[in-house]
Protein backbone atom coordinates (compact mmCIF):
# COMPACT_ATOMS: atom_id res chain seq x y z
CA UNK A 1 0.00 0.00 0.00
CA UNK A 2 2.80 2.41 0.91
CA UNK A 3 4.63 1.73 -2.34
CA UNK A 4 1.41 2.27 -4.32
CA UNK A 5 0.88 5.63 -2.63
CA UNK A 6 4.45 6.71 -3.35
CA UNK A 7 4.17 5.50 -6.94
CA UNK A 8 0.89 7.38 -7.39
CA UNK A 9 2.49 10.66 -6.33
CA UNK A 10 5.59 10.14 -8.45
CA UNK A 11 3.46 9.52 -11.52
CA UNK A 12 0.76 12.19 -11.10
CA UNK A 13 1.86 14.58 -8.36
CA UNK A 14 3.73 17.62 -9.66
CA UNK A 15 4.91 20.27 -7.20
CA UNK A 16 1.97 21.23 -5.01
CA UNK A 17 -0.43 18.92 -6.87
CA UNK A 18 -2.31 16.73 -4.37
CA UNK A 19 -3.09 13.10 -5.17
CA UNK A 20 -5.76 11.08 -3.40
CA UNK A 21 -6.99 7.52 -3.31
CA UNK A 22 -9.05 4.92 -1.48
CA UNK A 23 -7.83 2.58 1.27
CA UNK A 24 -9.14 -0.97 1.48
CA UNK A 25 -8.74 -3.55 4.19
CA UNK A 26 -10.47 -5.06 7.20
CA UNK A 27 -10.83 -4.70 10.96
CA UNK A 28 -9.13 -7.38 13.06
CA UNK A 29 -9.78 -7.17 16.83
CA UNK A 30 -8.66 -3.66 17.77
CA UNK A 31 -6.53 -3.12 14.65
CA UNK A 32 -7.34 -1.67 11.28
CA UNK A 33 -5.39 -3.59 8.64
CA UNK A 34 -4.96 -1.68 5.37
CA UNK A 35 -4.10 -4.23 2.73
CA UNK A 36 -4.88 -2.54 -0.58
CA UNK A 37 -5.56 0.83 -2.20
CA UNK A 38 -6.33 2.41 -5.54
CA UNK A 39 -5.98 6.03 -6.72
CA UNK A 40 -8.60 8.55 -7.70
CA UNK A 41 -8.16 9.18 -11.45
CA UNK A 42 -7.13 12.62 -12.60
CA UNK A 43 -9.92 14.32 -14.52
CA UNK A 44 -10.21 17.77 -16.05
CA UNK A 45 -13.10 20.21 -16.34
CA UNK A 46 -14.08 18.49 -19.58
CA UNK A 47 -14.95 15.38 -17.54
CA UNK A 48 -17.85 17.09 -15.80
CA UNK A 49 -19.96 13.94 -15.95
CA UNK A 50 -17.33 11.85 -14.11
CA UNK A 51 -18.89 10.24 -11.02
CA UNK A 52 -16.27 9.50 -8.34
CA UNK A 53 -18.69 7.50 -6.18
CA UNK A 54 -19.68 5.28 -9.11
CA UNK A 55 -16.00 4.80 -9.99
CA UNK A 56 -15.20 3.69 -6.43
CA UNK A 57 -18.11 1.25 -6.39
CA UNK A 58 -17.04 -0.31 -9.70
CA UNK A 59 -13.44 -0.68 -8.51
CA UNK A 60 -14.50 -2.31 -5.25
CA UNK A 61 -16.86 -4.64 -7.14
CA UNK A 62 -14.05 -5.67 -9.49
CA UNK A 63 -11.67 -6.33 -6.58
CA UNK A 64 -14.30 -8.47 -4.87
CA UNK A 65 -14.64 -10.58 -8.01
CA UNK A 66 -10.91 -11.44 -7.91
CA UNK A 67 -11.04 -12.15 -4.16
CA UNK A 68 -9.03 -9.11 -3.00
CA UNK A 69 -9.87 -7.16 0.15
CA UNK A 70 -12.49 -4.67 -0.97
CA UNK A 71 -13.88 -3.18 2.25
CA UNK A 72 -13.66 0.61 2.37
CA UNK A 73 -11.58 1.72 5.41
CA UNK A 74 -10.54 5.28 4.54
CA UNK A 75 -8.54 7.29 2.06
CA UNK A 76 -5.07 8.74 1.51
CA UNK A 77 -3.75 12.11 0.39
CA UNK A 78 -0.38 13.62 -0.35
CA UNK A 79 0.57 16.95 1.19
CA UNK A 80 2.66 19.93 0.13
CA UNK A 81 4.98 21.01 2.97
CA UNK A 82 2.43 19.74 5.48
CA UNK A 83 -0.47 21.81 4.10
CA UNK A 84 -3.19 19.28 4.85
CA UNK A 85 -5.14 20.83 7.75
CA UNK A 86 -7.92 22.24 5.59
CA UNK A 87 -11.69 22.40 5.56
CA UNK A 88 -11.79 20.04 2.55
CA UNK A 89 -9.89 17.36 4.47
CA UNK A 90 -12.12 17.82 7.52
CA UNK A 91 -15.31 17.48 5.45
CA UNK A 92 -14.01 14.44 3.56
CA UNK A 93 -12.83 12.65 6.69
CA UNK A 94 -16.15 13.37 8.39
CA UNK A 95 -18.00 11.79 5.46
CA UNK A 96 -15.80 8.67 5.56
CA UNK A 97 -15.83 8.38 9.35
CA UNK A 98 -19.57 9.01 9.59
CA UNK A 99 -20.27 6.22 7.08
CA UNK A 100 -17.58 3.81 8.36
CA UNK A 101 -16.51 4.46 11.94
CA UNK A 102 -13.04 2.90 11.59
CA UNK A 103 -12.02 5.07 8.63
CA UNK A 104 -8.67 6.89 8.70
CA UNK A 105 -6.85 9.25 6.38
CA UNK A 106 -3.21 8.57 5.53
CA UNK A 107 -1.13 11.70 4.91
CA UNK A 108 1.98 11.13 2.77
CA UNK A 109 4.60 13.91 2.71
CA UNK A 110 6.87 13.43 -0.33
CA UNK A 111 9.13 16.37 0.59
CA UNK A 112 10.02 14.93 3.99
CA UNK A 113 10.36 11.49 2.46
CA UNK A 114 12.86 12.85 -0.09
CA UNK A 115 15.05 13.94 2.85
CA UNK A 116 15.67 10.32 3.75
CA UNK A 117 12.84 9.15 6.06
CA UNK A 118 9.37 7.98 5.15
CA UNK A 119 6.72 10.48 6.27
CA UNK A 120 3.36 8.75 6.57
CA UNK A 121 0.81 9.54 9.27
CA UNK A 122 -2.74 8.40 9.97
CA UNK A 123 -5.38 10.73 11.39
CA UNK A 124 -8.99 10.55 12.57
CA UNK A 125 -11.45 13.16 13.76
CA UNK A 126 -11.91 13.18 17.52
CA UNK A 127 -15.34 12.17 18.91
CA UNK A 128 -15.97 15.76 20.08
CA UNK A 129 -15.38 17.16 16.61
CA UNK A 130 -17.52 14.43 15.05
CA UNK A 131 -20.46 15.53 17.23
CA UNK A 132 -19.98 19.17 16.23
CA UNK A 133 -19.77 18.25 12.54
CA UNK A 134 -22.99 16.24 12.83
CA UNK A 135 -24.77 19.28 14.26
CA UNK A 136 -23.11 21.55 11.64
CA UNK A 137 -22.91 24.32 14.22
CA UNK A 138 -19.47 25.93 14.08
CA UNK A 139 -20.34 29.04 16.05
CA UNK A 140 -17.94 30.16 18.81
CA UNK A 141 -20.52 29.18 21.45
CA UNK A 142 -20.91 25.63 20.09
CA UNK A 143 -17.17 25.03 19.83
CA UNK A 144 -16.61 26.49 23.28
CA UNK A 145 -19.34 24.27 24.73
CA UNK A 146 -17.74 21.22 23.10
CA UNK A 147 -14.33 22.35 24.41
CA UNK A 148 -12.71 22.05 20.97
CA UNK A 149 -9.37 23.64 20.18
CA UNK A 150 -6.99 22.98 17.31
CA UNK A 151 -5.01 20.58 19.52
CA UNK A 152 -7.92 18.15 19.89
CA UNK A 153 -9.48 18.29 16.42
CA UNK A 154 -7.50 15.36 15.00
CA UNK A 155 -6.10 12.30 16.70
CA UNK A 156 -3.07 10.52 15.27
CA UNK A 157 -3.22 6.76 14.96
CA UNK A 158 0.06 4.82 15.29
CA UNK A 159 1.16 3.01 12.13
CA UNK A 160 2.94 -0.33 11.83
CA UNK A 161 4.16 -1.21 8.33
CA UNK A 162 4.57 -4.90 7.55
CA UNK A 163 6.21 -6.08 4.34
CA UNK A 164 6.01 -9.47 2.72
CA UNK A 165 9.25 -11.27 1.89
CA UNK A 166 8.85 -10.47 -1.80
CA UNK A 167 8.50 -6.76 -1.01
CA UNK A 168 11.65 -6.88 1.12
CA UNK A 169 13.54 -8.50 -1.74
CA UNK A 170 12.31 -5.83 -4.14
CA UNK A 171 13.38 -3.06 -1.75
CA UNK A 172 16.88 -4.57 -1.52
CA UNK A 173 17.04 -4.66 -5.32
CA UNK A 174 15.95 -1.02 -5.51
CA UNK A 175 18.59 -0.06 -2.97
CA UNK A 176 21.28 -1.71 -5.09
CA UNK A 177 20.11 0.32 -8.09
CA UNK A 178 19.94 3.53 -6.08
CA UNK A 179 21.30 6.60 -7.86
CA UNK A 180 22.99 7.79 -4.65
CA UNK A 181 26.65 7.28 -5.49
CA UNK A 182 27.94 8.67 -2.22
CA UNK A 183 26.09 7.55 0.88
CA UNK A 184 27.50 10.57 2.66
CA UNK A 185 25.03 12.66 0.65
CA UNK A 186 22.39 11.51 3.12
CA UNK A 187 24.22 13.59 5.73
CA UNK A 188 23.89 16.78 3.70
CA UNK A 189 21.89 19.46 5.47
CA UNK A 190 18.34 20.24 4.47
CA UNK A 191 18.44 22.95 1.84
CA UNK A 192 17.44 26.46 2.75
CA UNK A 193 14.70 26.19 0.09
CA UNK A 194 12.71 23.83 2.32
CA UNK A 195 13.06 26.03 5.38
CA UNK A 196 12.35 29.16 3.34
CA UNK A 197 9.21 27.64 1.81
CA UNK A 198 7.96 26.45 5.21
CA UNK A 199 8.54 29.92 6.67
CA UNK A 200 6.73 31.53 3.73
CA UNK A 201 3.73 29.24 4.16
CA UNK A 202 3.79 29.90 7.90
CA UNK A 203 3.71 33.67 7.31
CA UNK A 204 0.83 33.28 4.84
CA UNK A 205 -1.24 31.42 7.43
CA UNK A 206 -0.38 34.01 10.08
CA UNK A 207 -1.71 36.64 7.67
CA UNK A 208 -4.89 34.61 7.29
CA UNK A 209 -5.21 34.43 11.06
CA UNK A 210 -4.72 38.20 11.24
CA UNK A 211 -7.54 38.70 8.73
CA UNK A 212 -9.82 36.47 10.80
CA UNK A 213 -9.00 38.57 13.87
CA UNK A 214 -9.90 41.72 11.93
CA UNK A 215 -13.24 40.13 10.95
CA UNK A 216 -13.94 39.24 14.55
CA UNK A 217 -13.07 42.73 15.78
CA UNK A 218 -15.39 44.17 13.12
CA UNK A 219 -18.15 41.88 14.37
CA UNK A 220 -17.60 43.11 17.96
CA UNK A 221 -17.78 46.74 16.83
CA UNK A 222 -21.01 46.08 14.92
CA UNK A 223 -22.52 44.33 17.94
CA UNK A 224 -21.60 47.29 20.15
CA UNK A 225 -23.06 49.72 17.62
CA UNK A 226 -26.29 47.71 17.43
CA UNK A 227 -26.58 47.66 21.22
CA UNK A 228 -26.31 51.45 21.26
CA UNK A 229 -29.01 51.70 18.59
CA UNK A 230 -31.27 49.42 20.64
CA UNK A 231 -30.72 51.52 23.75
CA UNK A 232 -31.45 54.77 21.88
CA UNK A 233 -34.61 53.26 20.36
CA UNK A 234 -35.85 52.11 23.76
CA UNK A 235 -35.22 55.55 25.25
CA UNK A 236 -37.11 57.27 22.44
CA UNK A 237 -39.97 54.81 22.82
CA UNK A 238 -40.11 55.38 26.55
CA UNK A 239 -40.14 59.18 26.18
CA UNK A 240 -42.85 58.98 23.52
CA UNK A 241 -45.04 56.85 25.81
CA UNK A 242 -44.57 59.34 28.67
CA UNK A 243 -45.71 62.16 26.40
CA UNK A 244 -48.74 60.13 25.23
CA UNK A 245 -49.73 59.36 28.82
CA UNK A 246 -49.49 63.07 29.73
CA UNK A 247 -51.95 63.77 26.89
CA UNK A 248 -54.25 61.01 28.11
CA UNK A 249 -53.49 58.71 25.19
CA UNK A 250 -52.80 55.00 25.37
CA UNK A 251 -49.12 54.00 25.26
CA UNK A 252 -47.75 52.46 22.09
CA UNK A 253 -47.83 48.65 21.97
CA UNK A 254 -44.63 46.86 22.78
CA UNK A 255 -42.67 45.56 19.80
CA UNK A 256 -40.25 42.68 19.51
CA UNK A 257 -36.96 44.52 19.42
CA UNK A 258 -35.22 41.48 17.92
CA UNK A 259 -37.36 41.86 14.79
CA UNK A 260 -36.32 45.50 14.43
CA UNK A 261 -32.67 44.76 15.17
CA UNK A 262 -31.83 41.29 13.90
CA UNK A 263 -29.01 39.65 15.88
CA UNK A 264 -25.70 39.69 14.04
CA UNK A 265 -24.22 36.32 13.15
CA UNK A 266 -20.73 35.81 14.59
CA UNK A 267 -18.02 34.72 12.16
CA UNK A 268 -17.49 30.97 11.92
CA UNK A 269 -14.84 29.72 14.30
CA UNK A 270 -13.90 26.53 12.45
CA UNK A 271 -11.71 28.29 9.86
CA UNK A 272 -9.71 29.96 12.63
CA UNK A 273 -9.16 26.61 14.33
CA UNK A 274 -7.98 25.04 11.08
CA UNK A 275 -5.60 27.94 10.46
CA UNK A 276 -4.23 27.57 14.00
CA UNK A 277 -3.77 23.84 13.42
CA UNK A 278 -1.94 24.50 10.14
CA UNK A 279 0.32 27.06 11.84
CA UNK A 280 1.17 24.43 14.45
CA UNK A 281 1.98 21.94 11.67
CA UNK A 282 4.34 24.39 9.95
CA UNK A 283 6.06 25.11 13.26
CA UNK A 284 6.54 21.39 13.81
CA UNK A 285 7.99 21.04 10.29
CA UNK A 286 10.51 23.82 10.93
CA UNK A 287 11.39 22.26 14.27
CA UNK A 288 11.91 18.85 12.64
CA UNK A 289 14.08 20.36 9.89
CA UNK A 290 16.28 22.04 12.48
CA UNK A 291 16.50 18.86 14.57
CA UNK A 292 17.32 16.84 11.46
CA UNK A 293 20.09 19.23 10.50
CA UNK A 294 21.50 19.15 14.02
CA UNK A 295 21.50 15.35 13.98
CA UNK A 296 23.27 15.30 10.62
CA UNK A 297 25.90 17.68 11.95
CA UNK A 298 26.61 15.34 14.87
CA UNK A 299 26.73 12.33 12.53
CA UNK A 300 29.06 14.07 10.10
CA UNK A 301 31.34 15.12 12.94
CA UNK A 302 31.34 11.60 14.37
CA UNK A 303 32.14 10.16 10.92
CA UNK A 304 34.98 12.63 10.46
CA UNK A 305 36.41 11.77 13.90
CA UNK A 306 36.15 8.06 13.07
CA UNK A 307 37.98 8.54 9.76
CA UNK A 308 40.69 10.57 11.49
Q: What is the pLDDT of residues 172-226, one digit of tens each?
A: 888 777 665 555 555 555 555 777 888 888 898 899 889 988 988 998 999 899 8
Q: Listing from the earlier edge strand, what are the strands of the sheet with 71-78?
A: 31-39, 20-28, 71-78, 104-108, 120-125, 154-157
- At 303, phi and psi to the nearest 5? -65, -40
| CATH code that applies to domain 1-175 | 3.40.140.10
Positive or negative torsion for Cα 29, 31, 33, 39: positive
Poorest-pLDDT segment among 20-24, 56-60, 123-127, 228-232: 56-60
Average pLDDT, rounded, for the chain = 83
User: Contact, 36 vs 24, CB < 8 A?
Assistant: yes
User: Contact, 94 vs 123, CB < 8 A?
Assistant: no
Give the residue with greater pLDDT, 61 vs 185: 61
Give the residue with greater pLDDT, 50 vs 160: 160
Specify the DSSP element, H or E, that contains 22.
Answer: strand 20-28
Domain definitions of the chain by residue range: 1-175, 214-259
The closest alpha carbon to 120, from 149, 150, 77, belongs to 77
Q: What pLDDT, on a 0 to 100 scale, did the predictor assign at position 242?
A: 85
User: Contact, 85 vs 278, CB < 8 A?
Assistant: yes
Query: Average pLDDT for residues 234-241, to the nearest whole number?
Result: 84
Q: What is the pLDDT of residues 247-277, one digit of tens each?
A: 888 887 777 777 778 888 888 788 888 898 8
The closest alpha carbon to 116, from 167, 194, 190, belongs to 190
Cα–Cα distance list, 244 to 30, 230, 232, 233, 240 (Å): 76, 21, 18, 16, 6
Look up residue 76 and give its DSSP letter: E
Given a cut of 80, is residue 23 above it in pLDDT? yes
Amino acid sequence: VVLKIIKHYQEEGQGNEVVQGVLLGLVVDDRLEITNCFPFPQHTEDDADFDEVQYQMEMMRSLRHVNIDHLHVGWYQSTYYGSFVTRALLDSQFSYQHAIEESVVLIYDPIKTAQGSLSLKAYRLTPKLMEVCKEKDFSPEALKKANIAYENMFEEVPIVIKNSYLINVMLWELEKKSAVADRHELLSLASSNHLGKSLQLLMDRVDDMSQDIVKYNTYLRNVSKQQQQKHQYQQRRQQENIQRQSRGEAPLPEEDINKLFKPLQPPARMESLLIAGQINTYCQNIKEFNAQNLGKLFMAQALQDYNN
